[in-house]
Structure 1
């Protein structure tokens, strides 16, 4: 009888849980969502490690699974919001310039107010430091579409940030 590969994950669970949860919480800023995505990450990891040819179970691999779960969440949210926008028939917004340095707390607060597609693109590109082509792959977009999304996302970030500063 062959041992279930998911047992390797069980041995790593206690040490990996805080790292996976911390990764997700730092990117989404919502404890409930981070807990749900952490749960989905470990359930997805169990399914994935049972497949033939799966990579060895490790914390970096689990962080990768968590990243995919977060991107999947943002995609679902984007589809939901896109459907709402179609109903409201919103107009596209103008692009503003982007500044390099913004306080981390304000940045997280501003990111939380953005749509999931903008939040996903900015988080993957600037917090995770992924190349545009990698962001495009994770978001299932072309590189050019991702570059345009990043421009719009930075503009939306700037507007949200400026609007919050103006109201204080």
Structure 2
């Protein structure tokens, strides 16, 4: 077990890390989840995980905190997906000869992303916003690579349909 001075040093280091990294962790979550309240809750959960880590002898880093924040967001989306799970109609997928090179309006794209189901939103966010490779997305989602690739294709099709549906509003 660690001595009191070591624990106090790690606790002070965590407080300094909190002051330095809080805006980054909160900003990361806020831009991805679209809800201030949810971003605040997930930020709190992230730093509570850091407290637990310090108590067990670890010294969290900024990169570790962002990874924990990402995992907290993915866990939230998984819970949301389980709560909303129901029968869904699957539309035919677009063929490989169907390029979609439109320039997306960032605010409208975020709005469309928030309206997608949590499984689609999670896959697209991890793949295209966080720029993770498909194998890493698959690992985070607890799916096989092929299932994740299919999910991303369906998510892109759903995003495209929702985006184009709103194009008459401008």
Indicate the residue corresponding to 2:82 in structure 1: 79
Indicate the residue corresponding to 1:160 in structure 2: 162
TM-score by length of 2: 0.86
How far did residue 6 of structure 1 move?
4.2
Distance in 2, matches of 1:6 and 1:135, equals 33
Indicate the residue corresponding to 1:120 in structure 2: 122
Distance in 2, matches of 1:49 and 1:129, equals 30
2:21 to 9, 16, 20: 16
TM-score by length of 1: 0.87
**Would you identify which runs of 4 or more consecutive aligned residues in structure 1 move more than 6 Å?**
none
1:69 to 63, 67, 72: 72
How far did residue 98 of structure 1 move?
6.0
Note the 1:6-155 alignment, pairs <5 A: 6-51=11-56, 54=58, 56-82=59-85, 85=86, 89-96=87-94, 97=98, 99-100=100-101, 101-155=103-157
Structure 1 residues 98 and 126: CA distance shift in structure 2, 3 A: farther
Name the larger-Rg structure.
2
Distance in 2, matches of 1:140 and 1:68, equals 12
Cα-to-partner distance string for 1:79-100 (whole Å, 9 max, x where unaligned): 1111xx1xxx332222245635
For the residue of structure 2 that corresponds to 1:12, the secondary structure is helix
Distance in 1, matches of 2:129 and 2:82, equals 23
Unaligned runs of 5+ in 1: none
Of residues 130-139 and 9-18 in structure 1, the stretch that sits farther from structure 2 once superposed is: 9-18
Cα-Cα RMSD: 1.7
Structure 1 residues 51 and 142: CA distance shift in structure 2, 3 A: farther
Cα-to-partner distance string for 1:12-70 (whole Å, 9 max, x where unaligned): 11111111000001111211111111111111222234335x4x422221111100000
Unaligned runs of 5+ in 2: none
Instruction: Report 1 or 2 for greater relative contact order, CA contacts < 8 Å, sequence distance ≥ 6.
Output: 1
Of residues 133-142 and 43-52 in structure 1, the stretch that sits farther from structure 2 once superposed is: 43-52
